[in-house]
Structure 1
Amino acid sequence: MKRLLVFLFIAVLALAGCVQTKTEVEGSKDDSKGKGKKAIEVLGMAASEEDMNIVRDQLVKNGFDVKLNIQPDYGSFSAQKEAGNYDLALSSWTTVTGNPDYAVRGLFKTGGDYSTVSDSKLDALIEEASTLTGDEAAAKYKELEQLLVFDQAYIAPLYISNKYQGIYSELVNPKTVHLPKSRAQVWESIEFNDSSKNATEPLILHQTISSLTSLDPIKGNDGSINTLNTNMYVRLVNLTDTDDVVSDGSLSYNHAIAEGNQEYYFILRDDINFSAVKDGAAVDTGELVSAEDVVFSLNRAKDPKSVPDHRTYSLHENIEKVEIVSDLAELQKKKVAGSDQSVFDALSQHLPASVTQLAKDKGTVNNAAGAYQVVKITTPTPFPQVLNYLAHQSGGIVSEKQVTSINTYDVASYNPDKDIAYGDQTTVTEGTATYNNHLYASGPYILVKKNDYEAQFVKNPAYRVGSEYEPKIAKINVRFIADIDSALSALRNGEIHILQSVPETKLDIVKSDSKLTLHTADSNAVSYLLMNTSGRAVSDSADLRKAILYSINQDEFISYYQGNKKPAVSTVSPLVNTGLKLEADSAKVKEYLKASND
C-alpha cells in the first residue's frame, strides 16, 4: 500500500525474445546520440496500455523515435529492467504510510529499497525534510521536488489517481467497508447485510497478483502482500481513513511523543494473542502479543541483515533503540512534546484500570489489575514521521518464539532452494513439497492456505474478543484475478464482493448497476516516468531527460480519464502542496534537445 507498497510499470508490445545483458545494453548506449531523432525505449507491463499510448504520442510529437516494450507480467518486466533494457519505465507509487518521507526515501535516496538514483544533494534534502513539519517541511519538499523533477529530471510525473471501490451491496453492507486514503483495506469491520451470514459465509475479496512475495511482514513491500500482511499482523499504531496516526485498532491503548520529538511511548493492551493454524482452522496459541515481541519485531525490521532479501529496512532505519520501560517515574517526569502534560498522563487515558505498575515481563501483565507493558522507541534525531512507518505493514508484530524457531538458517549463506524462512509462501501453498503452515498471526486474520485460485483466511479467535475490533466475518477468501475487466465482471455477478480498484474508465458501469455501490476517496497514488540512470543516453544527459519531461502533457491524461485524475509533480504531490507545477512546453523540448546534442 500503500497500500500497498507498490511499483506498477507499463509499456506496449516488444518481441518476447531473450533479455539483453546489462553489458550488452551499456555497449549500445550511444546509439541515440546522433543529430537525428532521439531513440527512446519505454518499458513496462500490459496492464495500462492506454497510458503508454499517450506517452508515446506525446514523445513522437516532440521529435522522439519511440520504441514501446511491453512485458506480460511483473517477473518478465523486472528481468528487462534489471538488464537495463529501457530509457523510461512508466511507474506507480502509493504512499501507504501517509507521510512524505515514505514517498521519496525508498524511491530516490541512494541505496533505497527501490532507488536507481544516486545524488548526494537529493539525499541531503530527503534527510532534512524528514525532520520538519508544517510550513518548514513544505518549503524543504519544494526544494526536493525542484531538484528531482525540474533540475535533474530523474522522473517525469503523469498524474495522481483517485480511489474507486466497487461493493456488491446486494450482499455486503457498504457502510461497513472502509476506503482509506493510504492504509490497506480494513477487513475486520466488514459485515454482510444479513449479519447471520457473518459466521458461515466467506467474504470474497480480490487481488491481481497470485504469487506472494513473503508473509513475513518485513520481507515484502508490494501489492502481492501489503493488504494481506496488514490484516495478519497488528501494529503499534494505525492510520485513519484520512491518514491521521491513531492508537485505535492497534496493539497500543495510547501513544505519546516526549519533548524533543526523539522518544515515543506506547502502552500495550493484553487482549490479543497470536493465532496459529491447526488442522485447517485457526487456534489461540495462548501466547500474548507482548512488549518482548514488539522489541524483537522492530529490531529485525530496522536491521538490513536480519533476513535475506530484506525489503523494508530503510523505512525503519531512523529507529535507534527499542526498549521496554520498567520505571514509572520516567513516564511521570517526561513531558509530552508541546504540552505541560506528562507522558504518564497521556498514556493513562481510557484504560481498563489505572496504571499501578509496569510489568517486568509478559508473564506478569494484567491490565485489569493495573499491570501494563510500555514500549519506548528512540530516534537519533527528531523524526516525527517514525509513527507513520510504524503504521506500515512492515511494522507488524511477529512472534519472537515462532520466528526464531523457523529462521534457523545462516542469513549470509541463505539458499532458497533448501532453507525455509518464516513466511515463505510455499509453506501455505497447496501441493508444494514444503506445505506446512507455520504462521503465527497477531492481527485479526490468519492465512490458512492458498493455491493459484485464491488465498483463504479465517479470523484470529484471540483478537480483541468482545470489542468493536473483533473481526465480524469468520472467513475471507482473496480471489486472484489478473485481468481487471474480468474482476469487474466477477463483481457484477457476485463472484467477488469488493473490487478495491475500479478503473476510471469503468465507473459508469458500477454506478448504473443496482446491485453495486461505488465508494470514492482521495489517494496517494502517483504515476510517473522513471528515467534509467545507468547505461543509456538519458542516464548521461540531464538535458535529454528535461526534453522528455517537457514533452509530457498531463492535461491529456486527465482528459482521457474524464477528469478523474489530478496533476502531479512528484510522489510527494498528494501529501504536500509545494506550489510547483509541470506544464508541457514544446519550445523547451527543442531547447533541451539541442543542448543534449551539443
Structure 2
Amino acid sequence: MKKRLLSFLTLTTSVILLAACNVQTEEQANNDNSDVSTGETTEKTTIELLGSSSNETDMNIVRDQLIKNGFDVTLNTQPDYASFQTQKEAGNYDLAISSWTTVTGNPDYAVRSLFTTDGDNSDLSNSEVDALINEAALQTSDEYTETYKELEDVLVTENAYIVPLYTSLKAQAFNQDLLNPDSIRLAKSRAFPWETVQFNETASNDTEPLILTQQIGDLTSLDPIKGNDGSINQLNTNMYVRLVNLTDDDQVVSDGSLSYNHAIAEGNSDYYFILRDDINFAAVEDDQAVDTGKMVSGQDAVFSLNRAKDPNSVPDHRTYSLHEHIDSVSLVTDLAELENASLSDGNGTVKEALEANLESPIASVVEDAAQVDNASGQYQVVKVTTTEPFPQVLNYLAHQSAGIVSQEQVESINTYDVENFDISTDIPYGDQRAVTEGETYDNHLYASGPYIMTQKNDYEATFQKNPAYMAGTEHAAQIANVTVRFIGDADSALSALRSGEIHLLAGLDETKYDVVEGEDSLSLQSMPSNGVTYMLFNANGREVSVSADLRKSILYSINQDELSAAYDGLKLKAYSTVSPLVDTGNELVADPAKVEEFYQNYLDSIK
C-alpha cells in the first residue's frame, strides 16, 4: 500500500517558510546581539531555561532568540521527564518548556487544570483568569470564542504568564506489512484505541502480541483518578470503559462505551445514560485475564464518578478539578422521570432518545444490578446532574479519569485512612507496585475496558484482552495480547519500529516523517493535534515571578516562524493552549521594539 500523509500535510508544505532556521551555538548567538529595530541591544538579565533532552531543539532556538535580544541564557537540560519534574518542583528555572494536549476535545480542559487558582497543574493565582475560565465553561461553542479571547488577553497579552511556541501535528507510524491499515485509528484527542487493531493475517490476532511503545515507564497510577499524564493515559484509556467516548474528530458519542445512548435534558444540567449489560470486569489469575462474572453496573458508575469529583476520596487525587462541575450522580428508579423530561433541543423526551435503536425498548428501569436484563427491556439508567448548566461535562466523562472501576474491588483494596495514608506501607488500588514483577507483585486490578494489564517491569508492560468485554460485537478487542515497550528516546523508538521490534509508534516528530516515508513497510498518519508546546514562567521566587514587564520582554523575543522552520514548516502557530480548539484571532509576533520597551519598564520599576 502506498504510504501517504493526510491531505493537511500537502497544504502545509505549500506554505513552508522560505528560509530554514539554522540553530546557532551559544557563542554564535552571543556575537549577534544587535536589536534589529534600533541597532542597539540592552544587556539584560540572565534567564534560566529548563527543559528535557527531548526538547533540545526548542531550547536551542529559544536560547538563540533570547540572546539576540540581549538576554543571557543558562540552559538547564535534564535527561528525562522525571528529572525535569524534580528540577521544576525545586524551582530551578525562570522558564520551563512545557506541553499540553487537550485529550477531551473541549477548551475548558485546555485551561482549567493549568491556569486556575489551585488547579492541579497550576501555580497561578489570578481572579480574572479564574472568572473567565468559569464563564467560558458554561457557554456553548457559539458563545465562548470571545470569552476565550479575553482569557488569552489576560493570560498572555497583559500578564505573559506563558510564552506560546507552537501547535504540533499528531502523527503515528505503523508496520503496514503486519497491521491492517483499515484497523488503525488516529484520533485527534483521545489516546490510541487498541481494540480495533488487527493483523493482516487474522490468525495472528490470537497468537501474536501487538507491540506498542511509550516514553514513560514509571506509571503514576492505574487508578484512573490518580493520574493524568503520558505515563498512564494510553494505558488507562484502554483498561477502563467510560459512559461516553470521543470520536476521532472529538465528537461525544456512546459508541463503544458503557452506554447505548445518552441524552441531555432541558436546562443542560441533567444528563442521562442508558447502560449496556454485556461488559464484565476482568481480573488476572495465574497471569491470565479472566472473566470475574461481575457485570460493570450502574452502582459502579455512580461510585466511580462520585470518587472522581471528590478531592478527598484518595490521597494525591490529580483529576478532581476535571469533574468539579458534577453535583450528583444517581440511578434513575422511576420510568416516568424519563418520560416526562424533555430534551434540551426540544425534540422529544429523554426516554425516546435513550431507547433509540435499542433492540428492546425500555420496559422498566431497575436499581438492583441483579435485575438487569437488556434483552427483556430491563435497564439501568445513570443520571449526572451538574452544579449549573455545563455542556462540556460530556467531554470530561469521555476522559480516562472518568473510567469505571469496581466499587467492590476498590473498596477491598483501599482500606487505608486517607488522612494517614503512608506510601511506604500502603499499596492503594492501581499502585504500579502491585503489577510489577518481583516481591511486590499481587495483581489486584479489575478492568472494565477491553484490556487488562497482567504485569510490568522496567522494560515493558503486558496486557490481555478482557474476555467479557462486549463479546460478539464490533467493539470487542480483536488482538488477544498487547505489549507496551518503555522507550524513552524518540530516535530509539523509531529505530525499533524500522527494525520490526515494535509495530506502531505514536507521537512521531515532524522531522522524522521523511524517514518513515522512505520505508516500504511503514505507513504514516498525520493530522493537526490539540497539543501545544509553550514556556511556563516560574511563579515563585524569581524576578520573572513578580514582573509582568520582564515576562513580556521575553514574550516578544520569541519568533514562532523560526521554530516552525526547524520542523520543516509543519508546526502551527499558537497563542495559548486553547489555540487548536478556538480561533480567537490572537497571534504572537516577535517585536524587538516591544522587547526593549518592556525591559525598560522593568528597569524603571526596580530603581
Aligned with 1:482 (options 476, 481, 488): 488
Question: Which amino acid counterpart does residue 52 of structure 2 have in structure 1?
Answer: M
State the secondary structure of the residue aligned to 2:226: coil
Please list the CA deviations of residues 269-290 of structure 1 after superposition, one character each: whole Å capped at 9, or x if unmatched.
Answer: 0000000000010110010100
Aligned with 1:113 (options 106, 115, 120): 120
Moved more, 516-525 or 75-84: 75-84
In structure 2, C-alpha distance between the alignment counterparts of 1:97 and 1:469, rounded to whole Å: 21
Residue in 2 that maps onto 1:132 = 139
Residue in 1 that maps onto 2:332 = 325
Question: Which amino acid counterpart does residue 551 of structure 1 have in structure 2?
Answer: S
Given the alignment of the two structures, is residue 519 of structure 1 paired with residue 529 of structure 2, yes or no? no
**Structure 2 alignment gaps of length 5 or more:** 1-23, 26-41
For the Cα contact (< 8 Å) 2:55–2:97, is it kept in 1? no
Scaled by the length of structure 2, what TM-score is found?
0.92
Q: What are the equivalent positions in structure 2 for 1:327-346 lying under 5 Å apart?
A: 327-346=334-353
In structure 1, C-alpha distance between the alignment counterparts of 2:147 and 2:56, rounded to whole Å: 35
Given the alignment of the two structures, is residue 271 of structure 1 paired with residue 278 of structure 2, yes or no? yes
State the secondary structure of the residue aligned to 1:160: strand
Residue in 1 that maps onto 2:509 = 503
Residue in 1 that maps onto 2:304 = 297
In structure 2, C-alpha distance between the alignment counterparts of 1:301 and 1:63, rounded to whole Å: 48
State the secondary structure of the residue aligned to 1:89: strand
In structure 2, C-alpha distance between the alignment counterparts of 1:479 and 1:537, rounded to whole Å: 42
Residue in 1 that maps onto 2:31 = none
After TM superposition, give the deviation of residue 36 of structure 1 in Å. Answer: 4.5
Given the alignment of the two structures, is residue 309 of structure 1 paired with residue 316 of structure 2, yes or no? yes
Residue in 1 that maps onto 2:5 = none
For the Cα contact (< 8 Å) 2:220–2:231, is it kept in 1? yes
Residue in 1 that maps onto 2:362 = 355
Aligned with 2:541 (options 535, 546, 571): 535
State the secondary structure of the residue aligned to 1:492: helix
State the secondary structure of the residue aligned to 1:375: strand
For the Cα contact (< 8 Å) 2:329–2:385, is it kept in 1? yes
Please list the CA deviations of residues 114-169 of structure 1 after superposition, one character each: whole Å capped at 9, or x if unmatched.
Answer: 00110001000000000001332001000001100100000010000001110011
Q: What are the equivalent positions in structure 2 for 1:77-476 lying under 5 Å apart?
A: 77-431=84-438, 433-476=439-482
State the secondary structure of the residue aligned to 2:107: coil
Residue in 1 that maps onto 2:566 = 560
**Structure 1 alignment gaps of length 5 or more:** 1-11, 14-34
After TM superposition, give the deviation of residue 351 of structure 1 in Å. Answer: 1.1
In structure 1, C-alpha distance between the alignment counterparts of 2:312 and 2:279, rounded to whole Å: 29
After TM superposition, give the deviation of residue 78 of structure 1 in Å. Answer: 1.7
Give the fraction of aligned pairs with identical amino acids, expressed as a percent. Answer: 63
Question: Which amino acid counterpart does residue 360 of structure 1 have in structure 2?
Answer: E
Please list the CA deviations of residues 558-587 of structure 1 after superposition, one character each: whole Å capped at 9, or x if unmatched.
Answer: 111111110000000000001111100000
In structure 1, C-alpha distance between the alignment counterparts of 2:141 and 2:232, rounded to whole Å: 32
Question: Which amino acid counterpart does residue 227 of structure 1 have in structure 2?
Answer: Q
State the secondary structure of the residue aligned to 2:143: helix
State the secondary structure of the residue aligned to 2:211: strand
Residue in 2 that maps onto 1:44 = 51
Question: Which amino acid counterpart does residue 381 of structure 2 have in structure 1?
Answer: V
In structure 2, C-alpha distance between the alignment counterparts of 1:562 and 1:36, rounded to whole Å: 32
In structure 2, C-alpha distance between the alignment counterparts of 1:192 and 1:60, rounded to whole Å: 51
Residue in 2 that maps onto 1:575 = 581
After TM superposition, give the deviation of residue 348 of structure 1 in Å. Answer: 0.6
In structure 2, C-alpha distance between the alignment counterparts of 1:484 and 1:136, rounded to whole Å: 40
Question: Which amino acid counterpart does residue 450 of structure 1 have in structure 2?
Answer: K
In structure 1, C-alpha distance between the alignment counterparts of 2:296 and 2:222, rounded to whole Å: 18
Give the aligned length. Answer: 566
State the secondary structure of the residue aligned to 1:584: coil
In structure 1, C-alpha distance between the alignment counterparts of 2:368 and 2:149, rounded to whole Å: 46
In structure 1, C-alpha distance between the alignment counterparts of 2:166 and 2:88, rounded to whole Å: 22
Question: Which amino acid counterpart does residue 84 of structure 1 have in structure 2?
Answer: G
In structure 2, C-alpha distance between the alignment counterparts of 1:358 and 1:425, rounded to whole Å: 38
After TM superposition, give the deviation of residue 352 of structure 1 in Å. Answer: 2.3
Question: Which amino acid counterpart does residue 124 of structure 1 have in structure 2?
Answer: A
For the Cα contact (< 8 Å) 2:43–2:71, is it kept in 1? no
In structure 1, C-alpha distance between the alignment counterparts of 2:51 and 2:314, rounded to whole Å: 29
Structure 1 residue runs of 4 or more that deviate by more than 2 Å after TM superposition:
none
After TM superposition, give the deviation of residue 74 of structure 1 in Å. Answer: 2.0
State the secondary structure of the residue aligned to 1:188: coil
